[in-house]
Every structure is written in structure tokens, then in C-alpha cells.
Amino acid sequence: MEKKKNVSMAVIKRLPKYHRYLKELMRNDVDRISSKELGEKIGFTASQIRQDLNNFGDFGQQGYGYNVKELYKQISLILGLDKEYTGVIIGAGNLGQAIANYNRFSESGLSIECIFDANPKLIGMRIRDIEIKDIDTLTQYLQENSTDIGIICVPRINAQKVTDMLVKSGVKGIWNFAPVDLVVPDDVKVENVHLSESLLTLVYLMKDN
Ligand code: NAI
């Protein structure tokens, strides 16, 4: 599928939600659904759903709605889930180990191949079957192993440094958990994940409740 250029970030951020709900519908053997019904499930309006999906093609049929399996397939393609991605975690502390221990990122196409850390006590250990290697060997590893995504789980003061190492070796995706705004070239994509921001949103919503 051709990648569309001018799709807004807000639409892109909603795609994983469509994907998740459609998967759930398939699990429940639902074959087709109208944009109104889908909207009610997800909490979007029917017109929002139609507008979002129209960015990528003409998926629904007047009077029929969406074919769930087909739409799921198309959204998977739009998200790039037809490809496999390889990743390395940088930082094998609490968070790095928790991510390595989660075994279902492969459903999103990500295979975590290795973890790198600077602490000699951790080097050589395994989290599931993923080995923790010395950060000093990262550049060589990246020369020898094609790697798409670097997962940043080091303290903030070291986050830019390890990101630079990844970028220099050609890694094009950074999944950043460190609370810092990383600086990268335009062709490198960064997605930040900050649980505390999500928590602050919750706290705000609960305020004066
Ligand atoms: P931690 O202290 O348990 O682990 C950090 C690990 O990074 C240690 O094993 C340390 O040896 C390693 N490390 C430090 N400098 C390194 C370097 N230059 N190269 C390779 N390894 C290096 O810390 P924790 O709790 O796992 O947090 C890690 C990062 O994730 C922090 O930046 C923290 O703020 C962030 N974090 C973010 C969350 C989020 O929601 N985005 C939630 C929890 C933590």
C-alpha cells in the first residue's frame, strides 16, 4: 500500500485503536460493522471514522458498512504490520527488563534481539532468551545485525548519547522511554512513551470529580 503523505498525526495515532477493536470484533466472529456501530464501540463519531479511513482509501460500502476482516487487513498494511522489525533495548534496568519480559511485541511485528547495558553485573545475563551485552559492543553488533528500532531505557543523562550511537549505525526508529526530548535527523523517527504523562492526564480528569 502506498504511504500517504499528508495524513495528520492525530489520525495516525488513532489507527492502532481501530486495529485493536477490529481484532476484537474478529475474535467475536463479527463479519461486518457500520461506521456508526464501530464508532459507538470505540467512542468516535461515525463521521470521524469515515473521515479517518478515507485518508487511506475507500473501505466501506454504502448500506453494508465495513467488512471487518478486510478492514483489519488494510489497517494492518497501513500500519506496516506486514513487515517484521528487529529491535534492541538499551538499558537492562527495571524498565528494560520489563519490556524484554513481555513476549507479545511480536504481534506488532517487533522482534527484540538483544539488550545492551553498561553494568558489568548484568552483562551475559538473559531475559527470557534475550542476551544482555556490553554497550561497548553495540556499534559492532549494529554493523553485523540489521536493526530497525532502538528502545531507550537508560537514565535521561545517557539517553542522547546512546541514541547517537544507534543513529550513527543506521537505526531509523527510536522508541524512547527516557524523559528527555531526543535530537535526531529528519529521517529517524522517535516515538516517546511517558507513563507519567498518562498518569497526569488521569489525575486531571479525576480532579473535582
Ligand atoms: P534503572 O536504573 O533500573 O535502569 C537503567 C539501566 O540503564 C541500568 O541497568 C544501567 O546500568 C543502564 N545504563 C545506564 N547508562 C547506560 C549507558 N550509557 N549504556 C547502557 N546502559 C546504561 O532505571 P529504570 O527504572 O529501568 O528506568 C530507565 C529509564 O526509563 C529512565 O530514563 C526512566 O526515567 C525511564 N522510565 C520511563 C518510564 C516511562 O513511562 N516512559 C517509566 C519508567 C522509567
pLDDT digit string, tens, across residues 33-59? 998 899 998 998 989 998 898 888 888
**How much helix, strand and coil, in percent to the nearest 5, is found in the chain?**
45, 20, 35
Kindly give the distance from the C-alpha atom of residue 189 to the centroid of ligand 1, in angstroms, as a whole number: 20
Q: Could you read off the pLDDT of 93-144 as tens digits, one per residue?
A: 999 999 999 988 988 889 999 999 999 999 999 999 999 999 999 999 999 9
Residue numbers of the domain that contains 30: 9-79
Same-domain pairing of 127 and 169: yes
pTM of the predicted model as reported, rounded to 2 decimal places: 0.88
Q: Are 90 and 150 in contact (CB under 8 A)?
A: yes
Task: Assess whether 71 and 126 both reside in one domain.
Answer: no
Residue nearest to atom 34 of ligand 1 (CA): 178
Residues 64 and 112 in one domain: no
| One domain for residues 98 and 150 | yes
Indicate if 114 and 173 belong to the same structural domain. Answer: yes
Cell numbers 477493536 correspond to: 21
- The domain total for the chain is 2
28, HSE (Cβ side, Cα atoms, 13 Å):
10
Q: 165 and 143, same structural domain?
A: yes
Best mutation site among 99, 114, 117 for ligand 1 pocket (most ligand atoms within 8 Å of CB): 117
Distance from the Cα of residue 121 to its chain's centroid:
30
